[in-house]
């Protein structure tokens, strides 16, 4: 049964484009107070106007945040906590595929830095608001995790390889970032048992995910996968299922087509998820200490 979200506070990262947009729209239709996080003011404003017009829900707004910037994430979280006492649902949806060897302002490989570590930091900063209402975190990952196996030795040392360019292609790095997302969803509920958190595969969706990989690459992807591409509305179905129905029985699990999907052997373990959490906390705490 779909929950009544009237008056509930919701954040959707990347809610201005792709599957994030219909996700934000449907959550607003269910009565939630929705904040969209995006990088592009024009598309954010357009999305908010469309959602308000379509749903009649006036409590929809947006904030410009670059998830590659810890300072930008910190600023948003501080402002959000100054005006909100609780956060019911956080949808960590935004994602990119960047060319290899790009880095964030923190010196983190960009795809992993945005898709995983930026969301890790955001969730960490907002955790008290989530815990106060036994809230829910929905992590949009991808079956691409199967191309990004993580090992314990990748997380050793002061500058773990997990946060450096370790793949020769942006797509392989994308897979690595999604393995991080899956591990994060599992460990979050170990750290904070009052929370609900699941990760999911939305399907292969026609979005601008690979916008930074160049027009030639996008053309190839379009031609190869066009017959099986989902629309953004179709791609949002599993996200919405995880955000609006009782998934307590599958807490920490990975979802696909709105059902629990086992993760392939060798990609997740208690040891890996705990270690990833530890090295991620070292990075964000080092930043916060400054």
**Residues tagged active-site:** 174
Tokens at 93, concatenated = 């949806």
Tokens at 199, concatenated = 């990760």
d(CA 78, CA 55): 29
d(CA 115, CA 156): 21
- Report phi then psi at 203, rounded to 5: 105, 175
Give the list of residues 6+ apart from residue 239 with CB closer than 8 angstroms, or none: 19, 23, 91, 93, 138, 140, 200, 202
d(CA 200, CA 203): 9
Strands 259-260 and 196-201 come out as unpaired
d(CA 256, CA 39): 27
Long-range contact set of residues 28-31: C-beta below 8 Å, sequence gap at least 24: 28/52, 28/55, 28/57, 28/59, 28/60, 29/54, 29/55, 29/57, 30/2, 30/3, 30/4, 30/5, 30/6, 30/244, 31/4, 31/5, 31/6, 31/7, 31/57
Best CA proximity match to 23, nearest among 59, 51, 62, 46: 51
| Burial status of residue 168 (CB atoms within 10 A of its CB: 0-12, 13-18, 19 or more) | exposed
**Which 3 state secondary structure label does DSSP give 5?**
coil
């Amino acid at each position: 049964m779909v929950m009544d979200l009237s008056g509930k506070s919701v954040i959707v990262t990347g809610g201005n484009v792709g599957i994030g947009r219909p996700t934000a729209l449907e959550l607003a239709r269910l009565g939630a107070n929705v904040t969209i996080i995006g990088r592009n003011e024009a598309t954010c404003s357009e999305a908010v106007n469309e959602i308000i017009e379509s749903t009649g829900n006036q409590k929809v707004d947006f904030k410009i945040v670059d998830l590659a910037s810890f300072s930008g994430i910190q600023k948003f979280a501080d402002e959000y906590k100054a005006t909100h006492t609780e956060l019911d649902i956080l949808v960590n949806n935004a994602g990119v595929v960047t060319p290899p060897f790009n880095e964030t302002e923190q010196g983190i490989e960009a795809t992993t830095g945005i898709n995983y570590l930026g969301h890790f930091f955001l969730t960490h900063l907002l955790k008290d608001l989530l815990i106060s209402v036994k809230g829910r975190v929905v992590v949009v990952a991808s079956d691409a995790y199967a191309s990004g196996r993580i090992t314990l030795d990748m997380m050793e040392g002061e500058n773990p390889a997990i946060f450096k360019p370790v793949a020769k292609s942006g797509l392989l790095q994308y897979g690595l970032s999604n393995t991080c997302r899956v591990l994060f969803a599992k460990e979050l509920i170990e750290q904070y048992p009052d929370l609900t958190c699941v990760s999911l595969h939305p399907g292969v969706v026609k979005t601008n995910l690979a916008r930074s990989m160049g027009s030639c690459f996008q053309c190839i992807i379009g031609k190869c996968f066009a017959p099986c591409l989902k629309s953004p509305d179709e791609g949002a179905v599993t996200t919405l299922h995880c955000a609006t129905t009782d998934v307590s029985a599958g807490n920490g699990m990975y979802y696909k087509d709105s059902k629990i999907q086992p993760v392939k052997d060798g990609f997740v373990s208690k040891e890996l998820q705990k270690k990833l959490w530890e090295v991620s906390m070292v990075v964000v705490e080092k930043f916060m200490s400054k």
